[in-house]
Amino acid sequence: MSAARIYVTGTDTGVGKSLASAALLHALRARGQRAVGMKPVASGCERTPDGWRNEDALLLQEASDPRPAYEDVNPYALPAPTAPQLAAREAGVEVRMDPLQAACTRLSAMADTVVVEGVGGWMAPLADGLDQATLARAIGADVVLVVGLRLGCLSHARLTARAVEADGLRLAGWIGSGVDPVPHRQQEYVELLRNALPVPCLGVIPHMPEPDASLASRAINAPSL
């Protein structure tokens, strides 16, 4: 049986996709699944004795069981902390679909579910000429939307949900993310989102000064995934 694939996108950059993706991995593992993470393209990497490494990709690798090779978790590790398109150009790297699909296939062979974290918001390209929707379709993924719970989130969430469905992908659910240290009417935003989005809320992760994916996973309730 082929592994399920979940593609995690966000209403914007900096809304907590990495924490939510790692929390999903912990939640799936707590249900007895073999779950592994993937960050296909990551910009903002640091040079280590083992090569370029990205903090978000390492978080996903650490939350995975079984533990995959870093090169499969993050096939394209780009040094510059900027948009992936610019980081790839600066590094002289051409981001191609074949290596991404091959890595996802290897991860799928060792897992029941592969959680794939995208870049920025849904319409942010992975590379020149490569949209996130293209990869999500190619690997047969359902989409989970991470919504940063702050002023403006309702519009961003509804627009993203429409864009995902217009791109021919199934939106499986959404996760609220407490991005602000002092929540502003957060519960009211959650209720508005529950009424506005056509898919279930899979959990609301509170603001964490020091993010802890294992702890955040307790906020995840995703029986449909």
Mean pLDDT computed over 91-118? 97
pLDDT at 100 over 60: yes
pLDDT score, position 224: 67
pLDDT score, position 165: 96
Instruction: Determine the Cα–Cα distance for residues 88 and 84; give it in Å rounded to an integer.
Output: 6
Question: For 3-15, how does the pLDDT look when each residue is reduced to its tens digit (9 = 90+)?
Answer: 999 999 999 999 9
Give residue 2's pLDDT band: very low, low, confident or very high (50, 70, 90). confident
Question: For 140-183, how does the pLDDT look when each residue is reduced to its tens digit (9 = 90+)?
Answer: 999 999 999 999 999 999 999 999 999 999 999 999 999 988 77
Indicate if 17 belongs to the active site: no
The active-site residue, picked from 39, 64, 135, 156, is 39
CA angle 89, 142, 215 (to 5 degrees): 90
Question: For 34-79, how does the pLDDT look when each residue is reduced to its tens digit (9 = 90+)?
Answer: 999 999 999 999 999 999 999 999 999 999 999 999 999 999 999 9
- The 3-class secondary structure across the chain, one letter per residue, is CCCEEEEEEECCCCCCHHHHHHHHHHHHHHCCCCEEEECCEEECCEEECCEEECHHHHHHHHHCECCCCHHHHCCEEECCCCCHHHHHHHHCCCCCHHHHHHHHHHHHHCCCEEEEEEEEECCCCCECCECHHHHHHHCCCEEEEEEECCCCHHHHHHHHHHHHHHCCCCEEEEEEECCCCCCCCHHHHHHHHHHHCCCCEEEEECCCCCCCHHHHHHHECCCCC
pLDDT at 225 over 80: no
- Whole-model pTM: value is 0.96
pLDDT score, position 162: 97
Angle between helices 55-63 and 17-30 (to 10 degrees): 10
Question: For 177-204, how does the pLDDT look when each residue is reduced to its tens digit (9 = 90+)?
Answer: 999 887 778 899 999 999 999 999 999 9
Instruction: Determine the Cα–Cα distance for residues 118 and 219; give it in Å rounded to an integer.
Output: 21
- Average predicted confidence (pLDDT) for the chain: 95
